[in-house]
Amino acid sequence: MTRLIILTSGKGGVGKTTLASNLAAALTDFGMKVIAVDANLSTPNLALHLGLHLAPYTLHDVLSGKTKLEKAIYPHPYGFKVIPASLGLNDLKGVDVAKLPEISLRLLGKADFIILDCAAGLGREAISALSASDEAIIVTNPELPAVTDALRILKIAEETKVKVIGVVVNRIKGEKHELTKEEIEDLLGVPVIAEIPEDENVSLSIAARKTLLEFSPDSPASREIKKLAARLCGVKYKDCLLYTSPSPRDRG
């Protein structure tokens, strides 16, 4: 069975695209077939994160009827597949975002997980992407404005009958003013399923156009993303150690 999961947020810049590319990689490590879709049509950057920004066919072409879906699915060296969006502003012409649900339906059966990265906020594009999904992960930072915006998208997800799996809190610095896991759970009423720390390797990996899991597989953020992937696959995190190099203590 294919799981169609959208990574969404109220506020922009919280880490959806970073999580989409690396969750795709982490799920691949667990033997899952994954397709990561850049459903952020107005401000796309998943392809940029993954070094696929020069792909000749994109989701824009599919949505405007210029290309067949199959032509816009590219293999990433890590082992998962990617449907990039176009960086060209002109390509937005003739694109019908309302067709996104039809595209995701056509992807069913082609992978174990379809991960959709989408635009932040409550605009038409973000809502179309939500309607194209069965399940949602809400991404936020541990700050009050981001969590307040997350609450708004959570309500929309519920109205759209999308099952909210939980909240991922990203860029945790451990500073005093940050909301705690418990406070975020109280405010949103859904469980926090991952807590990803601030990690300088994230921006370094994006600059290198590599996933964080390739660039720095044992970095603090990588480990938390692998834990989340384990949770989504229903396996214990201990199993993840198969995919990370052993710590000096484990080596004895």
Tell me how far, at minimum, the Cβ of 19 lies from ligand ADP, in Å. Answer: 7
Closest by CA to 87, choosing from 134, 125, 40, 130, is: 40
Residue 9 interacting partner from Mg ion, ligand ADP, none (CB closer than 5 to 8 Å by kind): ligand ADP
**Nearer to ligand ADP among residue 39 and residue 114 (C-beta):** 39
Tell me how far, at minimum, the Cβ of 93 lies from ligand ADP, in Å. Answer: 24
* CA 118 to centroid of chain Cα atoms: 8
Sheet holding 113-118, edge to edge: 74-75, 81-83, 34-39, 113-118, 3-8, 135-140, 163-172, 192-197
Q: Report how far residue 43's alpha carbon sits from residue 189's, in angstroms, rounded to the nearest whole number.
A: 30
Q: Report how far residue 1's alpha carbon sits from residue 242's, in angstroms, rounded to the nearest whole number.
A: 25
Calculate Rg over the CA atoms of the chain.
17
CA angle in degrees (0–180, nearest 5) for 197-201-207: 130
Q: Using an 8 Å Cβ cutoff, are 232 and 204 in contact?
A: no
**Nearer to Mg ion among residue 95 and residue 206 (C-beta):** 206
Question: Which residues in this chain contact Mg ion in the complex, by CB under 5 A?
Answer: 16-17
Residue 15 interacting partner from Mg ion, ligand ADP, none (CB closer than 5 to 8 Å by kind): ligand ADP
**Nearer to ligand ADP among residue 35 and residue 153 (C-beta):** 153
**Nearer to ligand ADP among residue 13 and residue 31 (C-beta):** 13
Tell me how far, at minimum, the Cβ of 154 lies from ligand ADP, in Å. Answer: 16
Q: Report how far residue 181's alpha carbon sits from residue 65's, in angstroms, rounded to the nearest whole number.
A: 44
Q: Report how far residue 57's alpha carbon sits from residue 86's, in angstroms, rounded to the nearest whole number.
A: 8
Tokens of 204: 């370094």
Question: Which residues in this chain contact ligand ADP in the complex, by CB under 6 A?
Answer: 9, 12-18, 170-171, 196, 198-199, 202-203, 206, 221
Residue 199 interacting partner from ligand ADP, Mg ion, none (CB closer than 5 to 8 Å by kind): ligand ADP
**Nearer to ligand ADP among residue 95 and residue 202 (C-beta):** 202
Tell me how far, at minimum, the Cβ of 40 lies from Mg ion, in Å. Answer: 5
Tell me how far, at minimum, the Cβ of 7 lies from Mg ion, in Å. Answer: 9
